[in-house]
Chain A
Amino acid sequence: MHDQGFEVITVACETKGRAGAEQWLAAAQPKHPSLIDPHHLVPELYNTRNVPAVFWIDEAGRIVRANDPIYIRRENRETHEVTINERYLEGVRDWIRNGSASRWVTEAAETARRIGEPDAADTQARAHFRLGIYLHEQGRTDEAIAQFKRAHELKPDNWNYKRQAWNLGDAQRDYGTTVIEAIRNGTIPFYPPLEMPDPV
């Protein structure tokens, strides 16, 4: 697909940086740019609250489809079985062929709705999260946890902030919960809905 003016760029939102992403990237041997985002800059810029989140950007640098919670290719952690989301992949191919005429491209207003609008609590949480990462890097673990907790209180629906903080230490000890528990018991949706066009 690369010959057709198309590129995939992946961004690993990992404060552990190399250590977090390396084994996966080493196994996948990607040929596309596979970037590491230790301070979660891209989630801030694109207003995302969880991973995965996929954006389609056209030749003019415009977002034409936003925030799809989907792994196109996924490898099971235990069995290493690879599954491909064929339907979504067909959508990507349709976009490559048809550009803005593709049924998979969303109207501007709809794209903006799927991105959502960051509010003051989002950016206040962001400040605490960024400071938390810095303090963690400095080995000031307790202070880091306090900052992460402030971010979680301000934005309980931001799963990136929770996952990253819980992943840096012992979630049960430091935050009294785990990812699995939180997803199971939580009232906050884990993913935005995946909205795809009807099959033809």
Chain B
Amino acid sequence: MSVTILYEDAGTATAPTAEASGDDLWLGPAELVAASGWEIKPEGVCREEICVPVPADRAAQLVRDGAGGQWLNLAAFARYIEQPYARDDSGGAWAFAAPASERRTALLTLEAPDFTLTDLDGRAYTLSAFRGQKVLLALWASW
């Protein structure tokens, strides 16, 4: 089934051949990396410099063979790394938030979390491009 995945800071991804059932969400290698950035490697489930080892007693819940190589159960993986998620009743849409520990650790350094957003004309701005200047960052809403 085609599944929509909203993963952490990433935009909306579509996984056309994902398999969702109850609290399981299986993704093949290409759709997994496109939606979440995670990849299955010999040393574990990896993204950038981080690899999460898959313990033998969890392997069956997390990883299985399928089309294109090894598939990951992204929802079981989220439970394993204590990452919160929400899904709709049909399993057609899933949102994964960054783990609280990750956000907490980042904020405790007091380094301003980076982001890229666009203005009304579609011009993109990235906060870190303003290094070397003082920045007053003001969050608002029209209500």
Contact = CB atoms under 8 A, between A and B. Distances in A.
Given A117-B104, A120-B82, A134-B6, A71 B127 contact: no
A143 B131 contact: no
Given A7-B130, A112-B107, A131-B88, A123 B139 contact: no
Interface residues of A, number: 78
Contact of B100 (A8, A14, A52, A122): A122
Contacts of A45: 9, 103, 106, 113, 115
Interface stretch (B28-36, B45-53, B62-70, B91-99): B91-99
Contacts of A36: 117-120
B2 interface: no
Given A18-B120, A62-B112, A126-B97, A8 B136 contact: yes
State the majority secondary structure of interface residues on B.
mixed
Given A11-B137, A41-B9, A72-B138, A119 B100 contact: yes
B6 to A, nearest CB: 5
Interface of B: 4, 6, 9, 12, 82-89, 93-100, 103-104, 106-108, 110-113, 115, 117-120, 123, 125, 127-128, 130-143
Given A9-B127, A45-B103, A48-B139, 19 more contacts: A5-B132, A6-B134, A7-B135, A10-B139, A12-B141, A12-B142, A13-B140, A33-B119, A35-B125, A41-B117, A42-B117, A56-B134, A59-B133, A63-B112, A126-B84, A131-B88, A131-B95, A134-B6, A167-B143
